[in-house]
Structure 1
Amino acid sequence: MPNLPVPVVTIGLLLLSNVFMTFAWYGHLKFKAAPLVTVILIYWGIAFFEYLLQVPANRIGHGYFSAAELKTIQEVITLSVFAVFSVLYLREPLMWNHLVGFALIAAGAFFVFHRWS
């Protein structure tokens, strides 16, 4: 397997980790009748897989990206994954104000990554 560029590996791992994270944090909302202790244990187990991907992503990416840039990438990916999850899995619509809020966060990412002279 050829060596992939650090940004590709980092962003790929963060994307995959966010899929697990989103299910761990919000997937249980469809199962409100399940006992809370059961839900906590099951979804904590899902979160374990998120950490198996997220920790190496940050390890690999740090140095190429600053910690602030890694966190910004994480947040943009988190919102993107959550938006898809919310619509497709939870069947909750995204409203215009959600999209405006997400756009403002994306604008913040511009300021984190822009090279100021």
Structure 2
Amino acid sequence: MNLPVPLVTIGLLLASNVFMTVAWYGHLKFKAAPLITVILVSWGIAFFEYVLQVPANRIGHGQFSAAQLKTIQEVISLSVFAIFSWVYLGEKIGWQHGVGFSLICLGA
């Protein structure tokens, strides 16, 4: 079964951004962990981001321009981060964040 290129591209970008967000911000709950450990674990997690991000861009390029791929990635990244910071880190998302994210998405 061949899935549409936009669906595959966006799905891979979504999954890669989940790994990226965990790699970049997941350690914030483990402040007692040694920094070198956090760095190495984050690199290990980020590997999977690249395993998904690179094919997403390769598959999507042609259907989307490079600028469109980057824009899609940024919008997904903000969305994933907002959910992650609320669910995992327990941070409240206020209306100011919504306005800021919306303006970034609008600009993109």
Structure 1 residues not aligned, in runs of 5+: 110-117
* TM-score of the two chains, using structure 1 as the length reference: 0.90
Structure 2 partner of 1:14 = 13
In 2, the alpha carbon distance for the partners of 1:47 and 1:106 equals 24
Deviation, 1:95, is: 1.6
Structure 2 partner of 1:112 = none
In 2, the alpha carbon distance for the partners of 1:26 and 1:106 equals 21
Structure 2 partner of 1:60 = 59
- What does residue range 29-108 of structure 1 map to in structure 2 within 5 Å? 29-108=28-107
Q: Which segments of structure 1 move beyond 6 Å, counting only runs of 4 or more?
A: none
In 1, the alpha carbon distance for the partners of 2:40 and 2:98 equals 33
Deviation, 1:106, is: 2.0
How many percent of aligned residue pairs carry the same amino acid? 79
3-state SS, counterpart of residue 103 of structure 1: helix
Aligned length: 108
Q: Which moved more, 1:96-105 or 1:56-65?
A: 96-105
Structure 1 partner of 2:3 = 4
Deviation, 1:108, is: 2.0
1:26 maps onto 2:25 in alignment: yes
* TM-score of the two chains, using structure 2 as the length reference: 0.98
Give the number of the structure whose alpha-carbon radius of gyration is greater. 1
Deviations, residues 53-76 of structure 1 (Å, cap 9, x unaligned): 000000000011000000000000
In 1, the alpha carbon distance for the partners of 2:14 and 2:74 equals 10
Deviation, 1:33, is: 0.4
In 2, the alpha carbon distance for the partners of 1:44 and 1:75 equals 20
In 2, the alpha carbon distance for the partners of 1:51 and 1:107 equals 26
